[in-house]
Amino acid sequence: MAAPVKSTVDTAMSSVQNLTIGKALNLGLRRAMEADSKVIVMGEDVGKLGGVFRITDGLQKDFGEHRVLDTPLAESGIIGTAVGLAVRGFRPVCEIQFEGFIFPGFDQISSQLAKLHYRTQGKVKVPVVIRVPYGGGIGAVEHHSESPESLFAHTPGLRVVSCSNPVDAYWMLQQAITCDDPVLFFEPKRLYHSGALKAAVDTTATPEPLFASRVLRQGGVDAAATLVTYGPSVKVCLDAATAAAEEGKSLEVIDLRTLSPLDLEPVFESVRRTGRLVAVSEASSESSLTSEIAARVQQECFYSLEAPVLRVTGFDTPYPPSKLEEHFLPDLDRVLHAVDRALAW
């Protein structure tokens, strides 16, 4: 599943490119389409425009209208049509324009896409990837800044992942496309074009497995606490760890990457050493991924915990108007405050 996709172009170009997350996703899509003629990109404005975030920029020009399909404006129709295409051997990659617009397609995703393989005892495979720009902090109007990933992680039959950096964006998207299960691919939209996050993407490297979390920052032998997070909050946690280090506190940071199935072994391993865990996410806390993490960590690491698992999340409210979003979103101070609470327990 995690086999690297062989590149067929750019052989003259250096295999290392300095890319934003957005450009890395674009290149990853391009590579996936080169590697397999059954890969089809479909969605609203993905063709000529290249998507409202330009993630599919240039693909229709190079691969044609049959493979990069501007669809009518209807999310259920997009997902449902992709299901039929997948039944006949295609690998559709659907773009949902903003996460807030995924709900007209929710029935097709949760009742159909997630269950077809099970219903048919494995006789029907539906390898559909649904790309979902998600998360806040872009000053947008309502329905453009939400974090609905827990709804999908709660649904058996779906796989759910989220990237947080250009290297993962490039590889994880290609790996998701080769996966025989439906994959919800959540993309941290406010980081798409972040120059600060630009990173060297080595297209000849061997990628990490798709369904594995990763320790991004080691805390060393005197690590004080563990931060576990994913997607847009990874940057917040890495910044928090840097700030904590200046105060002499060493934090470990784990990027989940896979939200369903969860890969919590690295988290358990870390918590057994640090005794303290703060789970961070922009999504509301109630019945969420961070709830699941807290439950599993207390079950697996009960005797190692020095403090309860604490959570720093979006509030249990609808996403607020943009002038209030800075108060809603977990930020560096809120994360550090939670770390202090855990240490003072």
Partner 1 sequence: MSELRLVRLIEPDGSASGDDRYALPAPGELLEHYRALVRGRRFNEQASALVRQGRLAVYPSSHGQEACQVAAAAVLRDGDWLFPTYRDSVAAVERGVDPVEVMLLLSGDWHCGYDPMRHHVAPQATPLATQLPHAVGVAHAARLKGEDTVVLALCGDGATSEGDFHEALNFAAVFRAPVVFLVQNNKYAISVPLARQSVASSLAAKGEGYGMPSALVDGNDVAALTAVLGEAVRRAAGGDGPTLMEADTYRMDAHTNADDASRYRDDAEVTEWARRDPLVRLRAHLRAAGVLDDEEERAIAESAEQTAAYLRTGLSADSEPDPAELFAHVYAGPAPHLAAQAELLAAELTAEVHS
Interacting residues with partner 1 (CB under 8 A):
1, 40, 66, 71-72, 74, 76-77, 79-90, 104, 107-108, 111-112, 115-125, 127, 156-157, 159, 179-181, 261-262
Q: Which of 144, 154, 193, 337 is catalytic?
A: 144
Taking the least distance from each CB to partner 1, the nearer of 80 and 308 is: 80
**Which of residues 139 and 261 has its CB atom nearest to partner 1 in the complex?**
261
Taking the least distance from each CB to partner 1, the nearer of 76 and 322 is 76
Nearer to partner 1, 89 or 195 (CB): 89
Q: How far is the CB of 128 from partner 1 (least distance, A)?
A: 10
Q: CB of 84: closest distance to partner 1 in angstroms?
A: 2
Non-local CB neighbours of 223 within 8 Å, separated by 6+ positions: 250, 251, 252, 270, 273, 274
Give the shortest CB-34-to-partner 1 separation in angstroms.
Answer: 17
Residues 6+ apart with CB under 8 A from 196: none
For the CB of residue 145, give the shortest distance to partner 1 in the complex, in Å: 25
Looking at beta carbons only, is 150 or 203 nearer to partner 1? 150
Least distance to partner 1 from the beta carbon of 234, Å?
Answer: 22
Q: How far is CA 289 from the centre of its chain?
A: 13
Q: Tell me whether residue 337 is one of the annotated catalytic residues.
A: no
35, 9 contact by CB (below 8 A): no
- As annotated, the active-site residues are 144
